[in-house]
Structure 1
Amino acid sequence: MQKVIIIGAGARAAEIEEYIFENNKLNPAIELFGFLDDSRENHQKPQLKLPLLGSIFTYDVPKKVELILAINNLTFSSKIINHFSLKNTKFTNFIHHKSRVFKTAKIGVGNIFCPYTQIGFNVDVRNFNAFNNKTS
């Protein structure tokens, strides 16, 4: 089972948490530990089910745990990606079970595919993209 922590604890993180729970009902593949965020208030607003584990830049991510980035601010996201890349911490993709990704598509890391996303034949998706519902 893949071990994962979500970076961010706002609305985007709440969405991803729910999507992971939906996927796990069909195929228990992700063990979600909780969230990293610098604001306890962010964690409390969307009523997340799993705990706030700590602050983004001070939490020591255990080995073999991968990250999903759930922060929409691109400047801040870049700092987070650089920080964890220097520590050799891996980011993973999340693909909702109601999405379709062609086998010939090339997928980087850190991508989020929400329900009903379609990634077509020979499409090259690089790193750290978020595809919202019904995107193709």
Structure 2
Amino acid sequence: MKKIIIIGAGGYGRELLQWVKDINEYKPTWIIAGFIDDDLDSLEGIDCDYPIIGRLSDWEPKEDEEFALAIGNPKTKEKIVKIMKDKNAVFANVIHPTATLTKFSKYGEGLVMFPQSKLSVNSQVGDFVTILSSGIGHDVQIGDYTTISGLCSVLRNVRIGKRVFLASNVAVAQDIVVEDDAYLGIGSVVIKNVPAGAKVFGNPARVMPI
């Protein structure tokens, strides 16, 4: 059984720790080693039963270690993955036992799925995608490093590019295309295609000046 180390000791990291514990309770999978974070004081004054065991910038991955990425910002995810991959790090898929997938759901490396998340039939997500208790409909494609925050709804045949961030409670209508590096603000209802790098907010969602 390999060790698992969580990258990032903020609130997201502590949530991810709980989901790893839930996975281990359902089926023993990893030995939890703790966190790595360049801010060694991240857990100061916070109740947590696992420590920060080192700095991300200094860590040298070992053969008996896997890593879970507790970072929400897509560009930061990509940067950290490159650093760790250059050191031959291996990333785990952390899929909560209550998450729903089908045998026709496809996903890459480093997937994180929080409780009650859903990835429906013939949908495909790339590497290092994060789905935080949200529903992904059938025949959806999601690019690498994208983050889907809590309580989002992505309907059928949607195409989401790389490094896209969906804030909480975003709804994306069927057949919509969201291009790379877009940002969909909290509560947005997206009924038109979103250009690359755009920031959209509102109901219906509108592009805002960057």
> Do the two structures share a fold, i.e. TM-score over 0.5?
yes
Poorly superposed stretches of 4+, deviation over 6 Å? none
**Whole-angstrom CA distance in 2 between matches of 1:45 and 1:99:** 31
**Whole-angstrom CA distance in 2 between matches of 1:13 and 1:55:** 14
1:54 corresponds in structure 2 to: 54
**Whole-angstrom CA distance in 2 between matches of 1:108 and 1:43:** 30
Instruction: Give the drift of 1:63.
Output: 1.3
- Maintained 8 Å contact 1:112/1:130: yes
Q: Secondary structure at the match of 1:16?
A: helix
Counterpart residue identity of residue 135, structure 1: G
Deviations 1:55-98 (A, max 9, x none): 10101222131111101233322221111111121111100000
Q: Secondary structure at the match of 2:89?
A: coil
Counterpart residue identity of residue 95, structure 2: I
Instruction: Give the drift of 1:25.
Output: 1.6
Distance 1:86 1:22, change over 3 A: same
| Structure that is richer in helix per residue | 1
Counterpart residue identity of residue 22, structure 1: D
Counterpart residue identity of residue 53, structure 1: I
Counterpart residue identity of residue 14, structure 1: R
**Whole-angstrom CA distance in 1 between matches of 2:10 and 2:22:** 19
TM-score scaled by structure 2? 0.61
Give percent identity, aligned residues only. Answer: 28
**Whole-angstrom CA distance in 1 between matches of 2:12 and 2:90:** 20
- Maintained 8 Å contact 1:117/1:132: yes
User: What's the Cα RMSD here?
Assistant: 1.5
Instruction: Give the drift of 1:46.
Output: 4.2
**Whole-angstrom CA distance in 2 between matches of 1:32 and 1:69:** 14
Q: Secondary structure at the match of 1:40?
A: coil
2:25 corresponds in structure 1 to: 25
Is it true that 1:40 corresponds to 2:53 in the alignment?
no
Q: Secondary structure at the match of 1:72?
A: coil
Counterpart residue identity of residue 36, structure 1: I
- Maintained 8 Å contact 1:14/1:46: no
1:3 corresponds in structure 2 to: 3
- How many residues are aligned here? 136
Instruction: Give the drift of 1:44.
Output: 2.8
Is it true that 1:123 corresponds to 2:120 in the alignment?
no
- Maintained 8 Å contact 2:61/2:87: no
Q: Which runs of 5 or more residues in structure 2 are unaligned?
A: 137-210
TM-score scaled by structure 1? 0.91
Name the larger-Rg structure: 2
Counterpart residue identity of residue 57, structure 1: S
1:95 corresponds in structure 2 to: 95
- Maintained 8 Å contact 1:110/1:128: yes
**Whole-angstrom CA distance in 2 between matches of 1:119 and 1:6:** 23
